[in-house]
Chains A and B, each alone.
Chain A
Amino acid sequence: MNIQIRPILIALRRHKAGTALIALQIALTLAIVCNALFIIHQRLANLSQASGVDEANVFVISNQWANADESTSQVDAQVRADLLALRQLPGVLDAAPASGYPLQGGGWDNLVTMTLDQVKPTTDAAVYLGDEHFINALGLKLVAGRNFRPDEVSVVGTQQNITPATVIVSKALADRLFPDGKALGKSFYAMGTTPSTIIGIIDPLHRQGVDLSSNRYAGQSLIWPLRSADVRGIHYIVRAKPGQLAAAMREAPKALLAQSRMRIIDPKDGIQDYAAIRQKVFETDRGMAVLMAIICVVLLAVTAAGIVGLTSFWVGQRRKQIGVRRALGARQRDILSYFLTENLLITGGGVLLGLLLAICMNLWLMLRFASQPMPMAYLIVGVLLLLVLGQGAVLAPALKASRVPPVEATRSV
C-alpha cells in the first residue's frame, strides 16, 4: 500500500492552528500521563512493602493505663498478668509486649554508630522493645542466630534509658553495618553508652514509619529485649491461631478487662488487625494513586474525545474532496488510511514534543518534590498508549469518511 505523505502534509498546512492544538494537547497529555503513571507505580510499590509480620493472624491492642501514678514494678506486674491472660486464650498462639510495631506510622528510631566516640553516625535503625515472645507473636522469620532468653529480658520504666547487652537486628541493618555478612556476635552502639551484641538476625522486619526519612533506611530495625512498663501505656501484639483472628480479637479485650478495669482501650482503633494497620498507614499513598489514576483516565478520555470531535469536523468539511478522490478511483481503504496516517503524523509530532515535556516535568518534580528519575519504560508506555489512543479515536470518523460516496463530488456543498 502506497501511502502518500506529502498530500497529507499539504492538506494539514491549511489547518495549521487545529493541527498545532491537537498536537499540543497530545504532548501535554503524554507529559502528565507518563509522570502520573510513574507516581502511581511508586505509591503502589509502597503499598506492597513486606512487613515481615504474619499479617493474616496478628492484631495489636493499644492499651493505655488510667492510673498514672503507679510504680514501674506495679505496671510490670499488670503487664505480665495481662500477657499470661492473653496467652491462655483458646484462640491465641502467642502474645508479646511492645513499644511499637511494624507499619505503625511515625515511630522510634535511634542513630547507630560503630564506636562510642564516632561523631557522624553510620546509619539509623527503628527501635522495637519486646520480650522473648516478640518474634513469635509477630510471626517474624529468624534467619540466623537465636531468640532472646527469658533471663535476658529486663523491665524498662517510663522514659527510662536502658541499653541491653543483646540485640536482634533485621538483615537489612546487619548487612548495612557488616557488609561481609558476619554480623552475628558483633556489636554496635545505638545512642547508648554501652554496646549491644547481635545475637539474632531477622528477615524482613519493616520499620514503624513509611515516610520519606524511613524509606532512606528501609528495613533497618533492631529489637531490644526490654519489657516496657511505661505508665502511659503499652501495645500488646497478639497472634491468633490460623483462622481464629476474629474470635481472638473479640475475646482479648474481655480477658484484659477481667484482669483490671483501670485501662483505656480506644473503642475506635484500640484493637486493630494488620489489614486495618496497613490500610491506615498507606492511606495517603493509596489516595494519591487513585487520584492520579482518575486524572489519567479522564485526561486520556478528554484527549480522545477531542480527536474524535476535530477529525469529525475535518471529515465534514472535506466531504466534497473525498468524493472527488473516490470518483477518481480511490478505494474506501485509501480514504481510511489517509485519515489514519494523518492522525499518526499529528500524534507523532505531539508525542515528540510530549517526550520533551515529560522529561522536563520529571526533572522539575525531582527538583521540587524530591521525586526519583523516571525510567524510560514509562515514556515508551506513554507513547504507545497515545499512538493507540489516537488511532482508536480517529477510527470512527475515518470510517465515516471512507463511506462517503463518489457521487458527493457532483453535489454542491
Chain B
Amino acid sequence: MFQYYLDLALRSLKRNKALTALMVFAVALGIGASMTTLTVFHVLSGDPIPGASGTLFYPQLDPQDMDGYQPGKEPPAQVTWIDGMNLLRAHRGVRQALMTGGAVPVQPAQSDLDPFFSDARYTTADFFAMFQAPFLYGHGWNAADDDAKARVAVITRKLNDKLFGGKDSTGQTLRIKDTAFRVIGVLGDWRPNPHFYDLNTGGYRGVEDAFLPLTTFRDLRLDRNGSMDCWGRGGGDEDHLETATCVWLQFWVQLDDASQAAAYKQFLVNYSREQHDLGRFQRPPNVRLRSLMQWLDYNKVVPSDVRLQVYLAFGFLLVCLVNTVGLMLAKFMRRAGELGVRRALGASRRNVFAQLLVESGVIGLAGGLGGLGLALLGLWAVRHQPSDYAELARLDPTMLLTTFLLAVGASLLAGLLPAWRACQVAPALQLKSQ
C-alpha cells in the first residue's frame, strides 16, 4: 500500500514541478538555517568534561571591604592569593587546584626558530587529574614540586610538535624567560569547550600551550593575564600580588557527591567567619558553590548573538513551514475531484489521509536532505569566520539525527492540516460537479 501511495505522491509532485521545488526549497532553507544555528549553539553550550562535570565546583568568597556593600550581592568571581592558598592547603575536597593564566617568552634551542610568546597556565598539581587531561607522554607534577617551586613544565602536543618534532620530549629542557624548565609531560589532544576553568581569557579558546607550577610563576615573576579586581587602595602591582587586596585567581574543587558539596559549602561559610574574626574579611559570610555547568550558565558563556541567531532561524523555519502548509492545502484542495473519485471507488478516509501524508512526507524528506546540505554549507561558512569557536562548528551524529527528525517531523506536521481538510471532502459533491 505504501508503495502505491509513494507512486501516487511522486506522480502528483511531478505534475507541478515548480511548486514542488518551491515547497522543498522552503523546507530546506528553514531546516538548513535552524540546524546551522542550533549546531553552533549545541557545540557552544556543551559539557566540557562529560561525565565528570557534575563533581567539579567553583567556590566563591567575599573578601572585600564594606565599601559599596549590599546584602545578597554576588561575591567576586575569583579569589585572592591568600584565600586561594588557604583553600588549597585546607584540602577539604577530593582534589583542588588554584590557577591563573599568562604568557611566557619561549626561547627555542633550534637556531632557526625565533623566540615567541606562548600562552601559559600557572596551576597546582591536581589540575591534570581533576580535569581529566590526557597525557601523551609523561605525567603532571606533584604537590612536592609545587612546594619546591620546581622548574618543570607540561606542554601540549602542539608546542611539542613545534619544539621537539613530536617526539617524546619528557626530560628535555625548555627555556622560558632565560630559565631552564624540565618537560615532564606532554598532553594529548585536549580541548575542553568552553574554556571553562578560566572564562576571563576567552570562552572558547583552546587550552594554553604550557602548564607551569603556580609557585614557580611567582618565584620567576612571569607575566600573568586575565582579569583582576581590586578594592580599597590595593593596586595590583607586580611585586605584592600575594598580599594585594585583589582577586585574580581561579580555584576549582572536586567533590564527589551532594553531601561532600554541602559539607564544603559549610566549610566556606566557616572559613569566611574565621577570616572575619581575624579581621581580614569585613563583610558577613557570602559564599557560592556552583557546579561547573551552573558556573557556565551563570556567566552566560554562550554569546548572545548565537542565541539570537537560533531564535531567528527557528522563526524563519516557522515561516517556511506556514508557507508549505498553505501551498499543500491549496494543492490538496484542488485535487478534491480526484480524491472524490478515489473515495467513491472505495478508499476510506484513512486511506486518503495516509496517501496525502505520504506526499507531504516525501517533501519533508527531500527538504531534510536539502536542509542537511545547506546546514553543512552554513557550518562551513561559520568555520571560516574569525571567532574563537569557529573550528568547533561541526555536525555530530546527534545533530545529524536531529536534523532528520526535525525535517520529516516538521513536514508531516505541515501535511496534517491540509490532508485532514482534503479528506473531509464529500465524494458525492465532487462527483456531481463533474
Contact = CB atoms under 8 A, between A and B. Distances in A.
A-B residue pairs, 9 tightest by C-beta? A313-B330, A21-B326, A306-B323, A159-B238, A66-B115, A25-B322, A161-B235, A28-B319, A309-B327
A283 B386 contact: yes
A380 interface: no
Contact of B223 (A17, A68, A161, A291): A68
A302 B293 CA distance: 40
A312 to B, nearest CB: 8
Given A17-B417, A317-B334, A25 B105 contact: no
A284 B22 contact: no
B111 interface: no
B190 interface: no
Contacts of A18: 326, 329-330, 333
Interface of A: 17-18, 21-22, 24-25, 28-29, 31-32, 36, 39, 64, 66-69, 119-120, 158-161, 193, 232, 262, 264, 280, 283-284, 287-288, 291-292, 295, 298-299, 302-303, 305-306, 309-310, 313-314, 316-317, 365, 368-369, 412-413
A22 B333 CA distance: 15
B325 A21 contact: yes
Contact of B236 (A119, A159, A284): A159
A232 B319 contact: no
A195 B315 CA distance: 54
Contact of A295 (B223, B312, B331, B387): B312
Contacts of A158: 238
Given A68-B105, A287-B385, A299 B316 contact: yes
Nearest to B223: A232
A346 to B, nearest CB: 11
B26 interface: yes
A299 B114 contact: no
Contacts of A119: 67-68
B309 interface: yes
Interface in B316-347: 316, 318-320, 322-323, 325-327, 329-331, 333-334, 337
Contacts of A232: 103, 223
Contacts of A365: 308
B421 to A, nearest CB: 6
B237 interface: yes
A413 B433 contact: yes
A32 B319 contact: yes
A32 B325 contact: no
B112 interface: no
Contact of B322 (A24, A280, A287, A369): A24
Contact of A302 (B237, B320, B433): B320
14 contacts: A17-B329, A24-B322, A28-B319, A36-B312, A159-B236, A283-B385, A283-B386, A295-B313, A299-B319, A302-B29, A305-B22, A306-B22, A306-B323, A310-B326
B13 to A, nearest CB: 14
A142 B66 CA distance: 42
Contact of B334 (A31, A68, A313): A313
B277 interface: no
Contacts of A284: 305, 387
Interface residues of B, number: 52
Interface of A is mostly: helix
Contacts of A283: 385-387
Nearest to A306: B323
A232 B318 CA distance: 53
Given A21-B325, A193-B233, A280-B386, A310 B312 contact: no
Given A67-B178, A264-B115, 11 more contacts: A25-B322, A29-B319, A64-B105, A264-B116, A288-B305, A295-B33, A295-B316, A298-B316, A306-B323, A313-B331, A413-B337
A82 B326 CA distance: 70
Interface string B79-98: 00000000000000000000
A303 to B, nearest CB: 7
A159 to B, nearest CB: 4
A69 B177 contact: yes
B323 to A, nearest CB: 4
Contacts of A317: 333-334
Interface in B345-390: 385-387
A262 B103 CA distance: 17
B333 to A, nearest CB: 8
B195 to A, nearest CB: 16
Contact of A160 (B237, B320, B331): B237
A302 B323 CA distance: 8
B434 interface: yes
Contacts of B319: 25, 28-29, 32, 299, 302-303
Contacts of B67: 119
A21 B329 CA distance: 9
A7 B417 CA distance: 27
A332 B108 CA distance: 85
Contacts of B330: 18, 309-310, 313-314
Contacts of A161: 235, 237
A73 B316 CA distance: 61
B117 A264 contact: yes
Contact of A309 (B19, B115, B177, B233): B19
Nearest to B225: A232
A21 B322 contact: yes
Q: Select the residue from A288, A298, A314 with max chain B CB neighbours within 10 A.
A: A298
A298 B29 contact: yes
B425 to A, nearest CB: 13
Contacts of B116: 264
Contacts of B334: 313, 316-317
A397 B27 CA distance: 23
Nearest to A287: B385
Contacts of B22: 305-306, 309
